[in-house]
Amino acid sequence: MSTSTLDGVGHGAPGTSYLNAKSGLMSWLFTIDHKRIGVMYLVTVLSFFLVGGLLALGIRTELLTPAGDVFSAAVYNKLFTLHGAIMVFLVLVPAIPATLGNFLLPLQLGTIDVAFPKLNLLSFHIYLLGAFFLVFTLVTGGVDTGWTFYTPYSSTSADGNVVAALTGAFILGFSSILTGLNFIVTVHKMRAPGVTWLRMPLFVWAIYATSVIQVLATPVIAITLFLLIFEKIVGIGIFDPALGGDPVLFQHFFWFYSHPVVYVMVLPAFGVMSETITVHSRKHIFGYTAIAASSIAIAAVGFIIWGHHMFVSGQSELSGTVFSLLTFAVAIPTAIKLCSWIATLYRGSIQWNSPMLYSLGFLWIFAIGGLTGLFLATLSTDVHFHDTYFVVAHFHYVMMGGVLFALIAGMHHWWPKITGRMFNDKIGRINWVLAFVGYNLTFFPQFVAGSQGMPRRYHQYLPEFQMWNQLSTLGSYLFGLSLFIILAYLLHSIFKGVKAPSNPWGAASLEWQTKSPPVEHNFEADVICTYGPYDYDAHRAAQS
């Protein structure tokens, strides 16, 4: 990537970076630097991941034995509701776009910042406000509707602070919309000279497709939650059947957002994969245009398949059939991606480091998650699987396994760029075994229990499911431990890690062509891009 200095003015003392350019808490909380905003998101998202994770460990501990002995049924309901709501709205939706996305988008486009830096900060503040409401819900008695807030349960009989939880989710939606809007404009208008559409890294394409979903789908959940708040307070009678409303209408509204939003979570994870797999196998990505186009295809098709959550909710047989067919269709672009990554690995010089291992872990986990999605998309089998642990296992494989493994892969991959330090890769590789085994041990048995008919969302279960549940709980403890180990060695590296060179992996995309960590305004000179992000030959030629 060639950069040229236009006027050669200096940039402060050597060694200054976005991290130490300004100091003090306020310089962080009110910064408009996309890199700092990304880091703040990362810290908050991970903190809420810890909260949601502890709730999950509570759930798993209850399920060690068939009897409901650790928590009462009422408390258990609140545990899984808050776990789900926190994980979806506070963790998974912003997990990659708002953290790595914020940090990387302008860097990968060779520009100074996103199109609207102040709006970016506003999104973060709105996120904090929404988070406040969810925390408020948590500490003032919780809520027990399930993260799906189905009516009429949520509007009439629910226990706890439903309105506060709804308000929190409503507010968080706007944070997501504004981030998406900002990123779309950034991709269209802020690219450096030479960064053509087909020279954008695939991570950018993924974030772009994600942003489109955020802008188009999130307003619908916002108005849905808004109406539900009034259903709860005034009984407007739109969703509550006792008042003349239609609970299935609520489900349509809810899933019109909540299906697309699973792609808000996972498309950025795909984007991370498209970077880590090519860089750490030292090989040009296979099928660049196919991967880019399939991101857009997934975003588009993702909007018309929400009905697969409602096969047994009383929608018509015809809509069931159509939604089933369309759901199968979304597997095609998804499979195109998986195949392209595997083809990229083929004959690459694979580096067995942490980012690569987590990427391979992602491929395994996501393949299982995606394929079991097809079982659920089949009408006849879904009648059996619906509302069992099979569904729970499916969506944890794709959402939690997929997104989390990608996020961890991405955090390792870009850690040197973000912090300017190298982590201890040896511990990373060893710990990967624990994470991978722990993860699969947690969720694979749930497929078995679910297929044998164990329903979700109960704090007791029949004794015949005990073995599967105990394996799962054991796995969750191991997985939790592995995550703490990651946290420990990453934090350790900030203080004791070796200083990172600007391009430790020999990558060709733009973010690696500036210092680690980058200077406040990203690049020391105006960027002019002359070759694609995976053109390692051109990159090497340009270096020498």
Partner 1 sequence: MSTAAGADHGHAHPWYQAHHFKNMEQQNASNKFGMWLFLVQELLFFAGLFMAYASMRYFYPGTWLEAAEQLDKVMGAINTVVLLTSSLTMALGVRAAQLGQNKQVAAWMVATIAGAYGFLIIKYFEYSHKIHVGLLPGKWFGFDELKTTATNAPQIFFSVYFMMTGVHGLHVVIGIGVIFWILFRALRDEFGPENYAAVENVGLYWHLVDLIWIFLFPLLYLVR
> What letter does residue 97 receive in the DSSP assignment?
I
Contact between 407 and ligand HEM by CB under 6 A: the answer reads no
Taking the complex as a whole, the smallest distance from the CB of residue 95 to partner 1 amounts, in Å, to 22
Tell which one of 266, 357, 360, 404 touches ligand HEM (CB under 6 A). 266
* Contact (CB, 8 A) for 262 and 268: no
Q: Which is nearer to ligand HEM, 103 or 263 (CB)?
A: 263
**Residues with Cβ < 8 Å from 207, sequence gap 6 or more?**
97, 101, 105, 183, 187, 267, 268, 271
Taking the complex as a whole, the smallest distance from the CB of residue 308 to Cu ion amounts, in Å, to 6
| Window 283-312: residues binding ligand HEM (CB under 6 A) | 308-309
Compute the distance between CA of residue 85 and CA of residue 508 in angstroms, rounded to an integer.
39
Taking the complex as a whole, the smallest distance from the CB of residue 188 to partner 1 amounts, in Å, to 6
| Residues binding partner 1: number (CB under 8 A) | 52
Taking the complex as a whole, the smallest distance from the CB of residue 295 to Cu ion amounts, in Å, to 17
Contact between 105 and partner 1 by CB under 8 A: the answer reads no
Plot region of 540 (φ>0 → left; ψ -120 to 50 → alpha; else → beta): alpha
Contact between 259 and Cu ion by CB under 5 A: the answer reads yes
Tell which one of 28, 71, 116, 153 touches partner 1 (CB under 8 A). 116
Taking the complex as a whole, the smallest distance from the CB of residue 7 to partner 1 amounts, in Å, to 5
Taking the complex as a whole, the smallest distance from the CB of residue 225 to ligand HEM amounts, in Å, to 16
Tokens representing 11 are 């940039």
Chain CA centroid to CA 192, Å: 27
| Residue range at the interface with partner 1 (CB under 8 A); choices 62-70, 125-133, 186-194, 464-472 | 186-194
Taking the complex as a whole, the smallest distance from the CB of residue 456 to ligand HEM amounts, in Å, to 8
Using the structure block, give the residue that is written with the tokens 């970077």. 275
245 binds, among partner 1, ligand HEM, Cu ion, none (CB under 5 to 8 A by kind): partner 1
> Which run of H or of E encompasses 26?
helix 25-29
Q: Per-residue contact track with partner 1, 196 to 225, x per CB under 8 A?
A: -------------------xxxxxx-xxx-
Compute the distance between CA of residue 384 and CA of residue 453 in angstroms, rounded to an integer.
8
CA quadruple 505, 508, 513, 518: dihedral, nearest 10: -60
Compute the distance between CA of residue 397 and CA of residue 403 in angstroms, rounded to an integer.
9
Contact between 396 and Cu ion by CB under 5 A: the answer reads no
Taking the complex as a whole, the smallest distance from the CB of residue 180 to ligand HEM amounts, in Å, to 17
Taking the complex as a whole, the smallest distance from the CB of residue 181 to partner 1 amounts, in Å, to 5
Tell which one of 331, 363, 367, 542 touches ligand HEM (CB under 6 A). 331
Contact between 148 and ligand HEM by CB under 6 A: the answer reads yes
* Contact (CB, 8 A) for 439 and 479: yes
Compute the distance between CA of residue 512 and CA of residue 534 in angstroms, rounded to an integer.
12
| Residue range at the interface with ligand HEM (CB under 6 A); choices 24-32, 276-284, 324-332, 417-425 | 324-332
Contact between 191 and ligand HEM by CB under 6 A: the answer reads no
Q: Annotate 229-265 with three-state secondary structure.
A: HHHHHHCCCCCCHHHCCCHHHHHHHHHHHHHHHHHHH
Largest CA distance in the chain: 75
* Contact (CB, 8 A) for 534 and 285: yes
Give whole-number Cα distances, 199 to 163, 172, 357, 408, in Å: 46, 33, 27, 25
* Contact (CB, 8 A) for 17 and 519: yes
* CA nearest to 435, candidates 390, 476, 394, 463: 476
| Window 147-176: residues binding partner 1 (CB under 8 A) | none
Q: Which is nearer to ligand HEM, 186 or 334 (CB)?
A: 334
265 binds, among ligand HEM, partner 1, Cu ion, none (CB under 5 to 8 A by kind): ligand HEM
Q: Which is nearer to partner 1, 153 or 226 (CB)?
A: 226
Compute the distance between CA of residue 262 and CA of residue 267 in angstroms, rounded to an integer.
8
Contact between 253 and partner 1 by CB under 8 A: the answer reads yes
Q: Mapping DSSP to helix (H, G, I), strand (E, B) and coil, where does residue 205 land?
A: helix
> What letter does residue 148 receive in the DSSP assignment?
T
| Residue range at the interface with ligand HEM (CB under 6 A); choices 20-28, 279-287, 378-386, 434-442 | 378-386
Tell which one of 189, 426, 496, 540 touches partner 1 (CB under 8 A). 189
Q: For the chain, how are helix, strand and coil distributed in percent, rounded to 5?
A: 70, 5, 25
Q: Which is nearer to ligand HEM, 158 or 195 (CB)?
A: 158
> What letter does residue 44 receive in the DSSP assignment?
H
Residues in the chain: 544
374 binds, among partner 1, Cu ion, ligand HEM, none (CB under 5 to 8 A by kind): ligand HEM
Closest residue to Cu ion, judged by C-beta, is: 259
| Window 387-406: residues binding ligand HEM (CB under 6 A) | 391, 394-395, 398-399, 402
Tell which one of 89, 306, 385, 489 touches ligand HEM (CB under 6 A). 385
Q: Which is nearer to ligand HEM, 185 or 363 (CB)?
A: 363
- State the CB neighbour count (10 A cutoff) for residue 10: 7
* CA nearest to 471, candidates 491, 455, 497, 447: 447
304 binds, among partner 1, ligand HEM, Cu ion, none (CB under 5 to 8 A by kind): none
- Residue ranges in contact with ligand HEM by CB under 6 A: 148, 262, 265-266, 308-309, 327, 330-331, 334, 370, 373-374, 376-377, 382, 385-386, 391, 394-395, 398-399, 402
- Residue ranges in contact with Cu ion by CB under 5 A: 259
- Residue ranges in contact with partner 1 by CB under 8 A: 5-9, 11, 111-113, 115-117, 119, 177, 181-182, 184-185, 188-190, 215-220, 222-224, 226-227, 230-231, 234-238, 243-246, 249, 253, 521-527
